[in-house]
Structure formats: structure tokens, C-alpha cells
């Protein structure tokens, strides 16, 4: 269970900086009181005999956080979320300290040994995950999408014409809505919009998956343009 150390453990950096101390709980697992005393007693001891509390800013600020971090390190949960969870749990439930301490003491030895190595990877992995989301939210380029739709060979000529008819019909409905000429609510236009996008995507997904992906990524952005009166008028 805990054997394959997750490469992106958030608590790992902490463990890495505490490399000498990581062995401490292992020793302390035999002597159960040692790890409990270490965060609190770390401050008065100036030399390197007790390094655990010194290198970690969070632990220096809040001793409970160190326990939570140890708990997070001991838990088999995946890497990304636990740091905040551990903090929240620590701040929200101070009464759970003894239990957390017990768990940390009972499990810290083997896990602490397996965790430290992947430490530096955790932050880049999180950044790498965030990057595609940022790309997905990239500025909408309707002209480019339109041109790509015209140029794609994944859809036949008659189908393109038919799709254009349907797009024009839908835009006419939005125009009526923004003029106040229609009693249709904006929410009622969402369904035909999604339906039309589904048609386009289903036509493209096999022949031009890149374009299908680009359109799908722009789904909400296109809706915002259609739903917002000013943006819609600019478009028209």
C-alpha cells in the first residue's frame, strides 16, 4: 500500500529537508514519546542534534502543522491535495491531535523512509497540471476556429452548408433575445447551443480531432460571447 511512494507528494519537500529527522520517528517508534516531544523541544536546542523543526517554516510557525504533515506523509493519499487538507484539518480540529499523533507514530517510520526521494518533483507536477488548464482558458479566437471549420476535410460540403444554416438560425435566435424581440430566456438557448456543438463535435471528432478539441475547449467562451449583449453585438 504505502510501498510505491507517490512521486508528487506535497509533504515530500518537508520530509526532504528533514532527512536526518526522518529517521527520528523510526527510532522513536520504538520509543513512542520521542517524536511528540521533538517539535516542541526543537527551539531551545540550538545545535544540529535536533534539526527537525528548524528547516521547515511551517513547522516553526505552528507545531501542530508538523504533526499534520507527518500524518499526511503517513497517509496513502495521492500527492496533490493533502498539504492544504492537512493544514485545514490541523487548524479546524485541534482535538484530533492525539489521534493524529498516534497514527503518525505508528506509521511514520516506514513511510518517512519511502517518501523523501520524490520531494522536488511535487511542485513541477502541480505546475504541469495547471498549464493545460491555462491553455484551455486561452483567449477565444473565433475567426481562427471559423476558418479551420471551413478548411477542414472532415466535413463534406453539404454538411458544412447545413451546419452553417443551423448556426445562422441559432444566432438569429440570440439576436432576437438581445433585441428583446423574443420571450425566450437565455437559459432556454443553452440547450440548442449545446446540441449544435455536439453535432459539430461528433462530425469532427474522427476526421479532425484537433479541431474538435479546440472547439470543445472554447465551448464556454463561445457561450459567453453569445450570452453577453455587448460581446454579441461586437461579433455581429
Q: What is the per-residue DSSP string for the chain? A: --SS--TT-TTHHHHHHTHHHHHHHHHHTTSTTHHHHHHHHTTT--STT--SSTT-HHHHH-HHHHHHHHHHHHS---SSTHHHHHHHHHHH-GGGHHHHHHHHHHHHHHHHHHSSTTGGGHHHHHHHHHHHHHHHTSPP-HHHHHHHHHH-SSS-HHHHHHHHHHHHHHHHHHHHHHHT-----HHHHHHHHHHHHHHHHHHHTTT-HHHHHHHHHTHHHHHHHHHSHHHHHHH-
Residue 106 in contact with other proteins, rule: CB under 8 A:
no
- Interface with other proteins includes 165 (CB under 8 A)? yes
First-to-last alpha carbon distance for the chain, in angstroms, is 58
Asked if 172 touches other proteins (CB under 8 A), the answer is no
Least distance from other proteins to the Cβ atom of residue 200, Å: 10
Residue 163 sits in the site that holds other proteins (CB under 8 A): yes
> Could you tell me which stretch among 7-15, 68-76, 77-85, 161-169 binds other proteins (CB under 8 A)?
161-169
Judged by CB under 8 A, which of 199, 219, 221, 231 binds other proteins?
A: 199
96, 166, 205, 216: residue in contact with other proteins (rule CB under 8 A): 166
Residue 156 near other proteins by CB under 8 A: yes
Per-residue mark of binding to other proteins, 112-151 (x: CB under 8 A): ----------------------------------------
Assess 162 for contact with other proteins (CB under 8 A): yes
Q: How far is the CB of 156 from other proteins (least distance, A)?
A: 3
**Does residue 213 belong to the site contacting other proteins (CB under 8 A)?**
no
- Angle at CA 128, nearest 5°, toward 123 and 134? 120
Which of residues 96 and 205 has its CB atom nearest to other proteins in the complex? 205
C-alpha 6/C-alpha 118 separation (Å) is 7
155 binds other proteins (CB under 8 A): yes
Distance CA 139, CA 86 (A): 35
Give me the least distance between CB of 196 and other proteins, in Å please. 10
**Residue 5 binding other proteins, by CB under 8 A:** no
User: How big is the site for other proteins, counted in residues (CB under 8 A)?
Assistant: 12
Residue 158 binds other proteins (CB under 8 A): yes
Interacting residue with other proteins among 12, 66, 203, 215 (CB under 8 A): 203
CB 145 within 8 A of CB 214: yes
Q: Which residues bind other proteins (CB under 8 A)?
A: 155-159, 161-163, 165-166, 199, 203
Amino acid at each position: 500500500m504505502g510501498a510505491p511512494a507517490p512521486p508528487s507528494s506535497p509533504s515530500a519537500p518537508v520530509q526532504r529537508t528533514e532527512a536526518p529527522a526522518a529517521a527520528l520517528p523510526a527510532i522513536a517508534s520504538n520509543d513512542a514519546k520521542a517524536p511528540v516531544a521533538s517539535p516542541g523541544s526543537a527551539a531551545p536546542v540550538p545545535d544540529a542534534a535536533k534539526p527537525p523543526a528548524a528547516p521547515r517554516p511551517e513547522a516553526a510557525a505552528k507545531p501542530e502543522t508538523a504533526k499534520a504533515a507527518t500524518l499526511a506523509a503517513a497517509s496513502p493519499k495521492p500527492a496533490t491535495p493533502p498539504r492544504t487538507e492537512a493544514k485545514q484539518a490541523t487548524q479546524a480540529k485541534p482535538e484530533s491531535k492525539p489521534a493524529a499523533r498516534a497514527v503518525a507514530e505508528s506509521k511514520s517510520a516506514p513511510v518517512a523512509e519511502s517518501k523523501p526521494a520524490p520531494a522536488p518533483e511535487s511542485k513541477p507536477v502541480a505546475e504541469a497540471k495547471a498549464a493545460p488548464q491555462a491553455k484551455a482558458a486561452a483567449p477565444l479566437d473565433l475567426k481562427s476556429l471559423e476558418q479551420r471549420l471551413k478548411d477542414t476535410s472532415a466535413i463534406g460540403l453539404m454538411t458544412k452548408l447545413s451546419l452553417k444554416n443551423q448556426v445562422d438560425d441559432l444566432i438569429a435566435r440570440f439576436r432576437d433575445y438581445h433585441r428583446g424581440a423574443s420571450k425566450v430566456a437565455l437559459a432556454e438557448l443553452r440547450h440548442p447551443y449545446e446540441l449544435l456543438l455536439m453535432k459539430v463535435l461528433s462530425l469532427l471528432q474522427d476526421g479532425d480531432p484537433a479541431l474538435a478539441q479546440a472547439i470543445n475547449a472554447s465551448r464556454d467562451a463561445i457561450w459567453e460571447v453569445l450570452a453577453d449583449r455587448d460581446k454579441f453585438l461586437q461579433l455581429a
